[in-house]
Structure 1
Amino acid sequence: MGGGLLSSAPLPRAFFDRPSHEVAPELLGRVLVHGDVAVRLTEVEAYGGPGEDPAAHTYRGKTPRNAVMFGPPGHLYVYFTYGMHFCANVVCLPEGHGSGVLMRAGEVVAGGAVARARRSGGQTLPDRDLARGPARLAVALGLLREHNGLDAIWEGSPQALNGHGSLTGLPAGSVVLLAGRPPEPAAIRSGPRTGVSTARDTPWRFWIEGDPTVSPYKAHAPRRRSAAATSVGEAPRS
């Protein structure tokens, strides 16, 4: 959890117009802003396109549920899982490809009081746990089903975003991905994705080594669930 200033420059759409496994490690240290809350990403997972990555939601092609993933790069794909959680991805590659990066964990760098109230109703929580895990990250940022499809690329120029200050210069209710503060390349680690039952050894989970907000790795374990629920990153059954 570093201090200092974070760059407030918005990431360009071209940043996401690449394969997800190339975007993912470079997304670490970037800042996702929604309203009053900003999270510096410390852990992400890449998912490939139709027919190439059996762990991806898009593996079997385009459906009403995953249609956003086949849209332009830089948009949010927010989905409901296990009948209780929302998780957020950012779309990669040109329109029609169906690829993206799951945002798994991060450090709340602005709007901590708002994030804490959403996560715990005001109860005491360690700072590292506010957005530690994909569902917690979505809750801290206030991301819900209605935010599915929002464009996270913004053409404006907000004022400086201080690592422990307030956000200024951003449109109310906007979702924006900022340049933030990427880690040194030597601090980036990769390994198998968390909790997927297929393509489980694909090393497309990326995280910042030693950062306390990174979530614990968990291998897939079969569990009972409703037919409508889908695990994080796992292709829905049809």
Structure 2
Amino acid sequence: MIESGRTILRDVDHPLEAARAVLGGVLTVGTVRARIVEVEAYGGDPSGPWPDPAAHSYRGRTPRNAVMFGEPGHLYVYRSYGMHFCANVSYGPDGVAGGVLLRAAEIVAGHDLVASRRPAVKRPFDVARGPGNLGSALGLSLDHNGFDLLGTDPGLHLELGCATDFRSGPRVGIAVAAELPWRLWLPASGAVSAYRRSPRAPVPE
């Protein structure tokens, strides 16, 4: 099962295939389990098969984004705006950059712990809506960067979803490649975030 999941994320022909594989999956972090209901696909640098100027990997490999260039199925965690931790799942062959951003999730286990991490949130669907909120709900930090989500550790694991009933549209809040429909979500979930276009994004002709 582990190798089949890694094969799915390694042998994709397009970033949206990786996004669909992660969508609907269940991510376990300690005692918290979350069903992923919204994702965004990101490609890589110009030398790879999926050039994407909105991706952290577009300018090439660095110590920060190295996980995106590594084996598929690993967790790429980065700090956003100096305070939030956002999480991606790497995909593609080793050496080719790609990441699926986890945008929103429904908590299916560990509700009390999540509530203690997000005490100001009143509605259940809001606790992990948005990538920074999702990271907070799961207790993610830079210490989780690089972890193998398809390995044997039951405390940090991803069961792929391979969703079939989903919607797609532009990614949220990016100033370049803003029109690509590389955001996927499960329409029946109340945890899906609202679309917000970046004011810096060019107006389409």
Q: TM-score, normalised by structure 2?
A: 0.88
In the TM superposition, residue 155 of structure 1 has moved relative to its aligned partner by 4.0
Deviation sequence 1:113-159 (CA, Å, 0-9, x none): 11111112xx5521101111101111111110111101101247xxx
In the TM superposition, residue 20 of structure 1 has moved relative to its aligned partner by 2.6
Aligned partner of 1:64 in structure 2 is: 63
Which segments of structure 1 move beyond 6 Å, counting only runs of 4 or more?
A: none
Residues 1:142 and 2:139 aligned together = yes
In the TM superposition, residue 214 of structure 1 has moved relative to its aligned partner by 0.2
Q: In the TM superposition, what are the counterparts of 1:24-35 in structure 2 within 5 Å?
A: 24-35=19-30
In the TM superposition, residue 35 of structure 1 has moved relative to its aligned partner by 0.1
**8 A contact 1:116–1:125 mirrored in 2:** no
Secondary structure at the residue paired with 1:103?
strand
- What percent identity do the matched residue pairs reach? 48
Q: In the TM superposition, what are the counterparts of 1:116-131 in structure 2 within 5 Å?
A: 116-120=115-119, 123=120, 125-131=122-128
Gap regions ≥5 residues in structure 2: 201-205
Aligned partner of 2:203 in structure 1 is: none
Letter in 1 for 2:156: V
Letter in 1 for 2:151: W
**8 A contact 2:5–2:160 mirrored in 1:** no
Provide the C-alpha distance between the structure 2 equivalents of 1:72 and 1:33, rounded to a whole number of angstroms: 20
**8 A contact 1:25–1:207 mirrored in 2:** no
Letter in 2 for 1:204: W
Tell me how large the CA RMSD over aligned residues is: 1.7
Provide the C-alpha distance between the structure 1 equivalents of 2:95 and 2:23, rounded to a whole number of angstroms: 25
Residues 1:206 and 2:184 aligned together = yes
Provide the C-alpha distance between the structure 2 equivalents of 1:23 and 1:38, rounded to a whole number of angstroms: 21
Letter in 1 for 2:34: V
Q: Assess, with a 3 A threshold, how the Cα gap between structure 1 residues 68 and 126 changes in structure 2: closer, same or farther.
A: same
Letter in 2 for 1:58: S
Aligned partner of 1:46 in structure 2 is: 41
Letter in 2 for 1:131: A
Gap regions ≥5 residues in structure 1: 1-8, 157-169, 223-238
Letter in 2 for 1:125: K
Provide the C-alpha distance between the structure 2 equivalents of 1:20 and 1:91, rounded to a whole number of angstroms: 10
Number of matched pairs: 193
Aligned partner of 1:14 in structure 2 is: 7
Provide the C-alpha distance between the structure 1 equivalents of 2:118 and 2:6, rounded to a whole number of angstroms: 31
Secondary structure at the residue paired with 1:108?
strand
